[in-house]
Amino acid sequence: MFTIARAVENETVISKSRFLCHLHRIDGEDEARAIIEDHRKEHWNANHNCTAFVAADGLTARSSDDGEPSGTAGVPMLEALRGRGLTNVLAIVTRHFGGVKLGAGGLVRAYGGAVTAALDRAELLEIVHWPRLRATVDYDHAGPLEALLRSREEVLVSDVDYGSQVALTLAAEDIAALRDLVNQSTAGAANLEEADPVRLERPVS
């Protein structure tokens, strides 16, 4: 799945009606509803403030036509988000009516197209879940191992805990290769245990 790096604003004009789309990153449904409420207060004089959002890594999705004919605004906006595989994104399309009726089909294309146009301007981040390992080693191995791992772009060192031994919490897309790297560096002296995966966001190349 993907999300956006930062907020985006884009305007399209169709048959004299202005469709202003705002995209926001959100952590969840409560934040989305708070942003929607603030937006409607700010744009109180607009004809419609239609919304759609996806959150919780795709498990939560909501949309609103805000007075437009049922199914002509929120649903196509939501489909535009889902069509890009997005989550944790809120889209708000504010319409200022230009005097020309678009009909149901025209509204569907206008609202979906407004979100798509804004997404074309967005910087996307890919959401990945890397498996993690907890590697426990003695102090003689800890320094060289940490230095080696931090030098590798494909490895994330998320935590180092110093106790009677040193425990490094590590993540990598290829967990088997990570195990081999740790074992080679420590001559098999590391105690390796699996840990919960970590959620990461990385730029889309």
- The 10s digit of each residue's pLDDT in 61-76 is 999 999 999 999 999 9
Is it the case that residue 126 has pLDDT exceeding 80?
yes
Is it the case that residue 205 has pLDDT exceeding 80?
no
Nearest to 195 by CA among 111, 146, 132, 115: 132
- Kindly state the percentage of the chain with pLDDT values over 90: 98
Which pLDDT score, from 0 to 100, does residue 57 have?
Answer: 85
pTM for the full predicted model: 0.86
Residue length of the chain:
205
- The 10s digit of each residue's pLDDT in 153-174 is 999 999 999 999 999 999 999 9
Domains of the chain by start residue, with CATH: 2-122 (3.30.230.30), 130-198 (3.30.70.240)
Q: What is the mean pLDDT of the chain?
A: 96
